[in-house]
Chains A and B, each alone.
Chain A
Amino acid sequence: MSGAWKIVGAVGLLAGGFAAFARAQQPASTPAPAAPLGTPPVAAAPIDPAAVSRGQQTFVQNCSFCHGLDARGGAEGGVDLTRSQIVIGDATGGELSAFLKTGRPPRMPAFGNLTDAQVSDIDAFVRSQNITSGGRAPLVALVVGDPKAGEAFFNGAGKCSTCHSVAGDLKGIGSKYDVITLQGHIVLPRGSGGWPSLKTPFEVNNPPNVPRKVSVTEANGKVSTGDLVSISDFDVVLRDGAGLRHTFARNGDTPKVEIKDPLEAHVEMMPHLTDEEMHDLTAYLVTQK
């Protein structure tokens, strides 16, 4: 879309019609109904009610702002933990404990200061919430496209086959990824991924990492190449083949910096890709088991 939308017609409707609906001096608002607290399960895996209670206290203090008072996702987009594979995928709480040591910056900070006992209590609390909520299933994307159309697009207008082959680099891709991850990577295999409730187990274990390549030519002719770590108007940082980090100050065109993005074709495709084409490609690639 380009060009301004100039509004020339009369918009009088907006001007005067709403002059008289103050809701002044209302009494204090009615609080929202309290979230149901975790109650001991009836016929599920035993959860210690005391642990649930302790876990709730720790949870409210450390986690509830983002994840909600009942752990089902909250005010600032923390995921619904009652559907988190990290929580419900490991009955011991060990996976959660390991996760909390590092977090997932920038959105999820580390909580390394929590003791194992506290984490175990949080785990119990979140599980109790899952049970009382009826064990809602994790969100999954539906395959809604046409695989035949997807195949035609892959080999034709989409130009995917210029770089990819279902017999080569994409062999078996349909069993490697869940649908959400697969579709996200079709668009651009570098995304920061799902939020607030789409973190898939695959994504947690395989953060996308397809760095841009950079070549830096200094005034004396020395050339350094590697993965681009960061770049601003004032400096450029690369990681070389040996994994070492090199920082160069930038002053206008010196040194000369050239960046190549292996995903350039994806970046160029994104603004033109229709939802139908995206769905068709996904429908085609999920069949590549």
Chain B
Amino acid sequence: MKTRTLLAAAALAAIPLGLLAQGALDPSELAKPATDSWPTYHGDYSGRHFSMLKQITAANAKNLSLAWMYRTNPSPENAIVGGTPPPVVPGRGNAAPASGGPTIKSIPLMVGGVLYLTAPNHTWAVDARTGQQLWHYLWQGRGVIGNRGVGMYGGWLYFETGDNSVVSVDAATGKERWHQRIAPEGATNFSTSAPLVIRNHVILGAGGDSGRNADWVESRDPETGELQWKWMITPAAGEPGIDTWPSPQASAIGAGGPWQPATYDPELNLLYVPTGNPTPSYNGRAREGANLYTCSLVAINPDTAKVVWYYQFSPHDTHDWDATEVPVLIDGTIDGKSRKLVALAERNGYFFLLDRLTGKSLLVKPLVESVNAYTGLDKNGVLIPNKEKEPSPGGSLVSPTSDGATNYPSPSFDPLTGLFYTNATTDYSIFYLPPDPGAPSGYGRGGEWHTGEFHTALKAIDYKTGEVKWEHKYDQSGFAGGTYPGALTTAGGVLFTGDPSGNFIAFEAATGKILWHCPLGNTYQSNTPETYMLDGHQYVLVAGGDTLFAFYLQ
């Protein structure tokens, strides 16, 4: 049954080769790890952020040098403009920020020698050989905190806008083909995720934790933009999971936004959707119960929208610990048996290993030693929240802060070392909630006092045991606002990531030895590095603020 569905969908999705123009992307290529392109946000479906390339090695990484840099240009001049402008204020333009360009949190796609990157309401095509801008698409509309990038299908690109539309443009020209609303005009949702293309599905997400909306994941037709299915994170009356909410009304404003791209196992045909925190964020009294399916990993069949399993990382979260971290798919060996696994380093301060066929929890281990908001595990291997550590009128001292021990930027799994790499911070906040928090909305009138970060490290974790094989402690602690630099590993034995001081660093993946570094200017690494071969060079790209840097060996 499942196979038949799969074959039918695959047949539907096939793009006749003759129709694929130069520089286009055949969706079937997405299932194979590529080395001459970077065709999705995660580089492939697995979320490993590992490349088989080995031109750059631990021995020669010290010779890396700048190939080019590209500074984002947000100016509406010469841009292709779409969307509806927000209310016009006399004497003030609508699109351009006061100074500098917007921050690149996206991971650029590279297909056919062209890079496609985004910042909120902006998409740029850049020549991957020279760093020169080819076109700029500007969406006029409400701003948003970040945008993770584009998805690609054939010669078409897809991206989400701050005011909850999805836009499809021609990759060659940037000209708009169509746009569709994800959420209605005026909704308090926001859309930041990078669309994920799976055969003939464009997977999108609507987030928003204002405490006044529901959030969801949905699939659209890549040609027409028509809605194929929509799965609400929080259940309606009569649906499974509604017993984890006090009422359908509470669930209907419970959020859980999937504001990060999912990962996907083509063999199991399962989409792994990481979900955000419940709302009101700090006020758990307004929503007694586990609050499914927030702060969870949900395995969904992308053809039918059927949920096959779920696992909740933070039941009844009251600390704004979105579980939108990257579900990293690992084909590994546990107790001598080959297993399909998924590993996550979570904002709540724990490392998790699950069986990705069943959702069975195999390992839960503190990522930072200071975690103190849970009392243990229940019989299903799920963390039990400590009531005493919920926000309270007198204040509850909790580690980590709402920024998390880690956050959305991608960790990396290197199958050659068997290590899972992530930056992690040990810190505390005092979480408050007034005795009578009143009407639940937003943060539920709660708040937190950041006591100050004091320990940050890059950790190399054995995925089977959760043990730290090596760690590099940074002398300076803390990444501002949870903007942890993402990581990339390569078959050349090199791990690329950033430190809290704005340096982009190449480490030896096996040992943690520093091989090379480059300061990114008066800013921090703001995305996750990527790599690909072009013209015989292995390029490594990383963003620092409004600038994209490309390195190679000269």
Known pairs A1-B372, A136-B438, A232-B476; A183 contacts B449 (CB<8 A)? yes
Instruction: Contact check, B430 vs A184: say whether CB atoms are below 8 A apart.
Output: yes
Which of B9-17, B28-36, B41-49, B362-370 is the contact stretch? B362-370
Most buried by B among A24, A198, A273: A24
Nearest chain-B residue to A69 (Cβ)? Answer: B188
B143 at the interface (CB under 8 A from A): yes
Instruction: Contact check, B307 vs A21: say whether CB atoms are below 8 A apart.
Output: yes
A57 to B183, CA, bound (A): 21
B311 at the interface (CB under 8 A from A): yes
A278 at the interface (CB under 8 A from B): yes
Say how far A280's CB is from chain B's closest CB, in angstroms.
10
B469 at the interface (CB under 8 A from A): no
Say how far B375's CB is from chain A's closest CB, in angstroms.
10
1/0 contact string of B487-503 vs chain A (CB within 8 Å): 00000000000011111
Instruction: Contact check, B474 vs A233: say whether CB atoms are below 8 A apart.
Output: yes
- Count how many pairs of residues, one from A and one from B, have CB atoms less than 8 Å apart in the complex: 289
Instruction: Contact check, B306 vs A191: say whether CB atoms are below 8 A apart.
Output: no
A72 to B442, CA, bound (A): 8
Secondary structure type dominating chain A contacts:
loop
CB-CB contacts below 8 Å: A66-122 with B: 66, 68-69, 72-77, 80, 106-107, 110-113, 115, 118
Known pairs A21-B239, A75-B190, A275-B394; A188 contacts B452 (CB<8 A)? yes
Could you say which residues of chain A place their CB within 8 Å of the CB of B89?
Answer: 54, 57-58, 61, 118
A31 at the interface (CB under 8 A from B): yes
A9 to B87, CA, bound (A): 58
CB-CB contacts below 8 Å: A196-238 with B: 196-198, 208, 230-236
Instruction: Contact check, A5 vs B364: say whether CB atoms are below 8 A apart.
Output: yes
Could you say which residues of chain B place their CB within 8 Å of the CB of A11?
Answer: 358-361, 379-381
Could you say which residues of chain A place their CB within 8 Å of the CB of B86?
Answer: 60-61
Instruction: Contact check, B210 vs A74: say whether CB atoms are below 8 A apart.
Output: yes
A172 to B352, CA, bound (A): 48
CB-CB contacts below 8 Å: B46-64 with A: none
A19 at the interface (CB under 8 A from B): yes
Nearest chain-B residue to A270 (Cβ)? Answer: B428
Secondary structure type dominating chain B contacts:
loop
Could you say which residues of chain B place their CB within 8 Å of the CB of A43?
Answer: none
Say how far B325's CB is from chain A's closest CB, in angstroms.
18
Known pairs A1-B366, A21-B307, A234-B517; A29 contacts B183 (CB<8 A)? yes
Say how far B150's CB is from chain A's closest CB, in angstroms.
21
Known pairs A141-B432, A144-B394; A195 contacts B448 (CB<8 A)? yes
B480 at the interface (CB under 8 A from A): yes
Instruction: Contact check, B363 vs A14: say whether CB atoms are below 8 A apart.
Output: no
Could you say which residues of chain A place their CB within 8 Å of the CB of B361?
Answer: 7, 11, 14
Instruction: Contact check, B517 vs A233: say whether CB atoms are below 8 A apart.
Output: yes
Q: Count how many chain A residues have C-beta atoms less than 8 Å from C-beta atoms of the other chain.
A: 94
Instruction: Contact check, B380 vs A14: say whether CB atoms are below 8 A apart.
Output: yes
A13 at the interface (CB under 8 A from B): yes
Instruction: Contact check, A22 vs B442: say whether CB atoms are below 8 A apart.
Output: no
A233 to B372, CA, bound (A): 30
B305 at the interface (CB under 8 A from A): yes
1/0 contact string of A42-62 vs chain B (CB within 8 Å): 000000000000100110110
Could you say which residues of chain A place their CB within 8 Å of the CB of B253?
Answer: 32
Other 11 A-B pairs with CB < 8 A, given A74-B442, A139-B432: A7-B362, A11-B358, A14-B311, A21-B240, A65-B162, A74-B188, A139-B446, A232-B500, A233-B514, A275-B392, A278-B430
The 8 closest A-B pairs by CB, nearest first: A144-B394, A232-B501, A7-B381, A142-B393, A57-B87, A24-B229, A22-B305, A15-B358
| Cβ contacts A to B, 7 pairs, < 8 Å | A5-B363, A14-B358, A22-B229, A57-B88, A141-B395, A141-B432, A144-B392
Binding site for A on B (CB under 8 A): 86-89, 91-92, 94, 98, 142-145, 162, 181, 183-188, 190, 208-210, 212-214, 216, 227-232, 235-236, 239-241, 253, 304-311, 320, 358-366, 369-372, 376-377, 379-381, 388-389, 392-397, 399, 402, 428, 430, 432, 434-435, 438, 441-443, 445-452, 454, 465-467, 474-476, 480-481, 499-503, 505, 514, 517, 519
Binding site for B on A (CB under 8 A): 1-7, 9, 11, 13-16, 18-26, 28-29, 31-35, 54, 57-58, 60-61, 64-66, 68-69, 72-77, 80, 106-107, 110-113, 115, 118, 136, 139-145, 180, 183-184, 187-188, 190-198, 208, 230-236, 257, 259, 267, 270-271, 273, 275, 278-279, 282
